[in-house]
Every structure is written in C-alpha cells, then in structure tokens.
C-alpha cells in the first residue's frame, strides 16, 4: 500500500480526484509520494529549492 511520505495518509483513503494532486519523487529505485494536502502545504518549501535561474 502506498502512503504519503510526510503524514502517512494512504492513497486508498482518498478520492480519485484527490489522487491527481499527489506528487511523486523518484530517488534511485524507490518512489516517495506526497499527498495532496502535504504537497499544497509544502509547495513553498519545494519552490524555495529551485535555482534562481528557474524564475527568469
């Protein structure tokens, strides 16, 4: 069963529409998921890691 890396929410516990907003990250051979709530909450953290060149 797949779950959110930050909060532990299960993918099977949300609607199909909410699944569309989940975010994934591939690290080596594994995939880590962020649920729609954590992805929205931490979008600033994610954007803050982008290089300055991205915003030009």
Query: Phi/psi of residue 23, each to 5°?
Result: -120, 145
Taking the C-alpha atoms of residue 41 and residue 38, their distance in angstroms, rounded to an integer, is: 5
Report angle CA 49, 39, 33 to the nearest 5 degrees. Answer: 95
Closest by CA to 34, choosing from 55, 52, 45, 48, is 45
pLDDT (0 to 100) of residue 9: 95
Q: What is the pLDDT of residues 4-48, one digit of tens each?
A: 999 999 999 999 999 999 998 888 889 999 999 998 888 877 778
Do β-strands 23-27 and 30-34 pair in parallel, antiparallel, or remain unpaired? antiparallel
pTM: 0.68
* Residue 1: pLDDT band with limits 50, 70, 90: confident
């Amino acid at each position: 069963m797949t779950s959110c890396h930050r909060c532990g929410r299960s993918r099977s516990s949300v609607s199909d529409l909410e699944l569309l907003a989940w975010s994934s990250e591939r690290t080596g051979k594994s995939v880590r998921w962020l649920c729609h709530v954590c992805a929205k909450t931490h979008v600033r953290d994610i954007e803050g890691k982008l290089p300055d060149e991205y915003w030009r």
